[in-house]
Structure 1
Amino acid sequence: MTAVKTPKICLAGIKKDEDLSESKLNEMIAQSVQINPRNQVIGHPVTTKSNDGRAPRLAMMTGNLWKPGSVLNVSFRDGTQWQKNQVKKYAPLWIEHANLKFKFFDTYDKSVTIHILITFDPKGGSWSLSGTESASAIWWLGQTSMNLDNINPDSSEVDMRQRILHEFGHALGAAHEHQSPRCTIPWNKEAIYAAFKGTNMTKKEIDNNILNPKTMNEAQATRFDPDSIMLYYYPPQYTLDGKGTNYNVELSATDKAYMRFCYPPQATEVGYFDTMEVSPDKARSQYKAEKSYHEDINPSREAFTAQIATWEDSILNSAGMTWLAAGPKFDFLQMGVVDLGDIFRWGYNKARNWTWVSFPDKFSTQPKVVCFIRTLDLDNKANWRFKTYASNVSTKGFYMNINSEGDTIMQGAKVSWVAYPEDRPGITSGHFSTADVQSSEDPQAQNNATQKFDKQFADMPQVLVALDEIDFDCKEGLRVRVGTSMVTETGFDWNLETWEDSIMYGAGASYIAWGEPARKSEGLTFV
């Protein structure tokens, strides 16, 4: 295919000339969590910043993906019927691989909740807001969320398909592939600055939309895909090695896999609750929300109350929780909670605490036990160091360890545990921590790596991740987030991060993954 003569570029994010207050940004972020609570654990935070460059207080804590199964209402601010029909023709190609639906409205009606609002300004460039930012721009700012230039009868069908697919990729939460944290394109910066000189783009916008890669916490961190529709064409002279990039006009295999990760077809047994759903700005001591079970989990009981709370003089600015709704399909699981207060012989404030936990039913084969933090009560007079894990696991039970380190003063703790047969197909678990990628003597705010499963799945599994250890300086606030990005049949990318002035010497988390096990036939593994 003949490459286009001039490179295409689009701008993502709320327009730079909008005066967005920090509180308004926080409201928009909270709205993202309300639209899809799973955004609290997706490693893809919103990219919006205020006019003076300040990032919102909660920016490190939320993604901008739509809720799987949603119907997204798409409308047009202007355009001919022919232009609208081109969008209706090509945009649904994404939906073939995502658990979403589009409903198109030819005329913009403010009485209808619109999620994506399109204009066809031929001089406005090509751009789209990312994911739920689109809805925020429409609802809060009264803006359009996407512009499609050069959608006209004089444009080739190939160019129009590429432009529409690319911008709708942004609208569904995908970032530019050439800004992937794993992209190693050697840009010829001077050539790029010269090529875009005279346009309405500033040097900063060129840097932000072409040259500067996203960090691992800003984008879904798959391996770089040279065939992605989210990779724009750049000619050989724009790179130091003279290779340039492909002019991609179709969805690649990775593009399709990305959609399946973001918008899985199956209902999930993993649930989420974030305090931003209740109060995005004002701190409370208690947050509650009614949550629904998966329809197959507990038909006799449709909902339960999710609760996050603190007590006495502690200040809880924001927090999130996750859970597994274990119905009949998980009848092989055993689970429970251990309270530090029940370990009477050691009492409180001891660094090493353990107790024997007997399984309600003896396992017939060796089980695996996964532990998660449920409640913590640590004094702020010393650094916060806590770790929980299982040891001496047998078919009858295990020792639960609830430990602090150094001079940490532990007033109380509760730990949840889950056990399953180690040899059972279709389920696996493990642990990861900042120690895998950094030293506690050189603490970093962002920590990322790839976790490989010890079993392979036939398709993308479901994954439950939760903290099991922390090591923070008590002089500043305790801010920690564990998230995942791009779950595949063989593993996932994880991130452990803090923000603002918090000092994270270390943190760790455990995970459980389950799904359809990979099948072998005639010596081949089908995945």
Structure 2
Amino acid sequence: MDNSNWSHVGTSATKFVLDPNKPTMNLGSLNDNSRDDEICRVVLHEFGHALGCVHEHQSLAADIHWDEEKVIADAKRLYHWDEDKTRTQIFGKELDATMHSAFDPSSIMCYMIPPEWTKDGRGINENLALSETDISFIRKAYPFRTRNTGRLSVSPDIRQPYPPLALNSKIIEFDPPYPLPPRIILGLTLLDAAKTANIRVRVHTLSQSQRSNKSFTLNLDAWADTELYNAAATWLEFARSEVNFEVGQFDTTDNRSFEDRQPSAEGNFRRDMQHVDFPPGKYAEAPNVTVWLNALDLSKDFNWRIRAAARNVTTSGFDVVIESWDNTVVYSASAAWVACPRNHPGVASGTVSSSAHRKWFPPRLANGGRVKFDIPFDRTEPKVFIALNELDMDNSRNFRVKVSADKIDDKGFNWHGDAWADSILYTVGADWIAFG
């Protein structure tokens, strides 16, 4: 039995282990009596190798003044290593490494180095957990948590914009597949519909129990006499293992019939609201909550004014709100939401609105600005997902609006909330969430 700990580094396992019955990693020193901290140290270290990380003390950036004679003698006495193995495991530099950080003595990939092994008496303690540099480096080297593009448009992805069609769908394949069907939230990013009928549009998919681990069907639909020329949506996928994220959906028809007018609320606002409870102890502080509109049924007879938002967010829950104002008639609407811990590594989120930059009147076709991340991402180009959460449009023209993000870098991105042709856009807003 091999009582040593080792692992092939990254894809070298496919080069040197040709027999599928032979291991690519060995955790031979661990047993039922091993301490938790020792298990943690060994597993993290060896899986670091499996992910492609080399020994930190052998990094090109490391500057360790070895007492080689002492190290060789101790390694032979303690580990039964010959001189060649000691030089390979301790002294040799990993010249094949294509990415490296500044030397990090706190890295899980660094051996413990007794002070007497160095000529200047500077040793390195045994590291039992991932360092900040370890976490940052792996984020740079590996793909995003959200693996798929998360964008689909009726035109040109499904059909041409004319003639208008009510039912539009496409199968979205997960690449790679998930072990189990993921949780999905959807948001509208673009709508182009005729003013001659009520604005009835929704983006939806099958229920959780009907989804596959390999794909899902995304539907961008209208109904009744609504004329839908184009629509687009974004989505987020969350594996079952991503327990830090809570997701959900609020539909006003859960509380009232579409025939019932929105209930009165404060002042000029009418509001549908649902309280969401988080699992007990889920969040240590109030999380960030992103809310996206994903279905609308608005009367054609009045201006289209609607907003979805998270209110009264605490560690135990929040209120998801869909509201309108003035004489707008909302027969129904729905919104998706995702909650994420504040300062969660590799995630940022926020809200943008044209109202932050200008008054609602006069209307403008082009709106937007620059969003600056509170903390820059490790990656040079994180993924940004943005969808509508606020609209104020004139019903005398066709309903045309879209939100998007571009010029994305590690420090921020540009957002756009635009209408086109003769549409009249007073206010547009969106929620966004970024991963990097």
Per the alignment, residue 233 of structure 1 pairs with: none
Matched, 1:393 2:273: no
Q: Is the 8 A contact 1:297 1:328 kept in 2?
A: no
Aligned residue type for 1:413: A
Q: Which deviations, in whole Å up to 9, do the C-alpha atoms of 1:318-344 show, x marking residues without a partner?
A: 000110121256331100001112234
Whole-Å Cα distance in 2 between the matches of residues 342 and 301 of structure 1? 28
Per the alignment, residue 31 of structure 1 pairs with: none
Q: Is the 8 A contact 2:177 2:215 kept in 1?
A: no
Per the alignment, residue 278 of structure 1 pairs with: 158
Aligned residue type for 2:232: G
Whole-Å Cα distance in 1 between the matches of residues 178 and 148 of structure 2? 8
Per the alignment, residue 172 of structure 2 pairs with: 291
Residues 79-478 of structure 1 mapped to structure 2, 5 A cutoff: 268-276=147-155, 277-280=157-160, 281-295=162-176, 297-298=178-179, 301-328=213-240, 330-344=242-256, 348-350=261-263, 351-360=270-279, 362-366=281-285, 367-459=287-379, 460-478=381-399
Q: How many residues align?
A: 252
Residue 289 of structure 1: SS of its match in structure 2?
A: strand
Aligned residue type for 1:269: N
TM-score (norm 1): 0.46
Q: 1:355 Cα deviation (Å)?
A: 2.0
Residue 456 of structure 1: SS of its match in structure 2?
A: coil
Of the structure 1 ranges 492-501 and 270-279, higher mean CA displacement relative to structure 2 is found in 270-279
Q: Which deviations, in whole Å up to 9, do the C-alpha atoms of 1:504-524 show, x marking residues without a partner?
A: 001100001122xxxxxxxxx
Q: Which deviations, in whole Å up to 9, do the C-alpha atoms of 1:34-87 show, x marking residues without a partner?
A: xxxxxxxxxxxxxxxxxxxxxxxxxxxxxxxxxxxxxxxxxxxxxxxxxxxxxx
Aligned residue type for 1:355: Q
Whole-Å Cα distance in 2 between the matches of residues 506 and 458 of structure 1? 33
Q: Is the 8 A contact 1:287 1:309 kept in 2?
A: yes
Q: 1:301 Cα deviation (Å)?
A: 2.3
Whole-Å Cα distance in 2 between the matches of residues 329 and 455 of structure 1? 25
Q: Is the 8 A contact 1:270 1:325 kept in 2?
A: no
Aligned residue type for 1:505: Y
Q: 1:502 Cα deviation (Å)?
A: 0.5
Whole-Å Cα distance in 2 between the matches of residues 361 and 514 of structure 1? 26
Whole-Å Cα distance in 2 between the matches of residues 384 and 291 of structure 1? 31
Residue 443 of structure 1: SS of its match in structure 2?
A: coil
Whole-Å Cα distance in 2 between the matches of residues 500 and 298 of structure 1? 46
Q: Which deviations, in whole Å up to 9, do the C-alpha atoms of 1:111-153 show, x marking residues without a partner?
A: xxxxxxxxxxxxxxxxxxxxxxxxxxxxxxxxxxxxxxxxxxx
Whole-Å Cα distance in 1 between the matches of residues 226 and 169 of structure 2? 18
TM-score (norm 2): 0.55
Structure 2 segments unaligned to the other structure (5+ residues): 1-141, 181-211, 264-269
% identical equivalent positions:
30
Q: Is the 8 A contact 1:365 1:423 kept in 2?
A: no
In structure 2, the CA distance between the partners of 1:425 and 1:275, relative to structure 1 (3 Å rule), is same
Q: 1:362 Cα deviation (Å)?
A: 4.1
Q: 1:265 Cα deviation (Å)?
A: 7.5
Whole-Å Cα distance in 1 between the matches of residues 359 and 326 of structure 2? 17
Per the alignment, residue 66 of structure 2 pairs with: none
Q: Is the 8 A contact 1:272 1:322 kept in 2?
A: yes
